[in-house]
Amino acid sequence: MEYTNLLLQHQGNIAVLTINRPKALNALNSETLSELSAALDELGRDSSVKAVIVTGSGEKAFIAGADISQMKDFSPLEGRRFAQLGHATFRKLELLPQPVIAAVNGFALGGGCELAMACDIRIASENAKFGQPEVTLGLTAGFGGTQRLPRLVGTGLASELLFTGDIIDAQEAYRIGLVNKVYPLESLMEEAQKLAQRIAGRAPVAVQLTKSAIQRGINLDLDSAQAYEAEVFGLTMSTSDKTEGCTAFVEKRKPNFEGH
């Protein structure tokens, strides 16, 4: 499928999804969100893809936010529909079977921060900036910021960022646990590829089931979450990869996983 505002590239068993609106600092409008949703459907059907990297085009912005030029004349109903489109798209990203790494290469503000938070893992370049500045525009976060940010960094820190609209740098984002690692800009994609390749080298079914256990379990009570984990653990016993992995361990060799 051809996309206007996205680039979808396959590098072996790794897919790189780039938001490609550099003149708008990769801001998210309705068209871009719809294209992103379609690209995620495409990736979800592709069993050859073992991990996904999401980034932004250029060296200045990951995603600068939602497209204010589109939003400024929205009616209440149009605003609600725009938020619902963002919610549905980011939830699809969050529930993608493959692990998703956000390679944040610049501004990740508003919708950009919200998209990054819907990814499984976030790494950032040294010039990256994060924030939910919606209140400085008379708005609230509309693509999940009020929900995912407290779950990631705690209610107190999230409330401060959401109430003030303050923007933080990559090191502060690392300190509060919003990102896993910070790298020089020139090595960010190389490091993202290394991480994706490490993940892709593990048993694919086990990785996907692990992601499912994390995503489903985080909002359950501990007993229910552990019951689901036990079910997932039991499912792995039916896979050829489990047999191969355990046999390789006993034989002290590298496993050859085939994804079933």
pLDDT digits (tens, 9 = 90+) for 61-102: 999 999 999 999 999 999 999 999 999 999 999 999 999 999
DSSP line for 149-185? HHHHH-HHHHHHHHHH--EEEHHHHHHTTS-SEEE-G
Judged by DSSP in three states, 79 sits in helix
* pLDDT, tens digit, 9 for 90 and up, residues 166-191: 999 999 999 999 999 999 999 999 99
- Tell me the H-state helices in 165-220: 170-175, 188-200, 204-217
> Which of 77, 51, 63, 74 is closest to 20 using CA atoms?
63
* CB distance 168 to 130 below 8 Å: yes
Cα end-to-end span (Å), the chain: 28
Give the closest residue to 111 by CA, choosing from 137, 80, 134.
Answer: 134
Computed over every residue of the chain, the mean pLDDT equals: 96
pTM of the model: 0.95
State the pairing for strand pair 100-104/121-125: parallel
Say what the pLDDT of residue 5 is: 97
With a CB cutoff of 8 Å and minimum separation 6, the contacts of 137 are 68
Tell me the C-alpha distance between 193 and 197, whole Å: 6
Q: For the residues 8-19, what does the mean pLDDT come to?
A: 97
- What is the pLDDT, as a whole number, of residue 259? 84
Place of tokens 């379990």: 217
* pLDDT at residue 1, as a whole number: 77
Helix or strand run (H / E) with residue 34: helix 30-44
Beta-sheet pairing, 107-109 with 129-131: parallel
State the catalytic residues: 114, 134
Say if residue 59's pLDDT is above 90: no
pLDDT in tens, 212-254: 999 999 989 999 999 999 999 999 999 999 999 999 999 999 9
Across the range 33-60, mean pLDDT stands at 96
Using an 8 Å Cβ cutoff, are 123 and 103 in contact?
yes
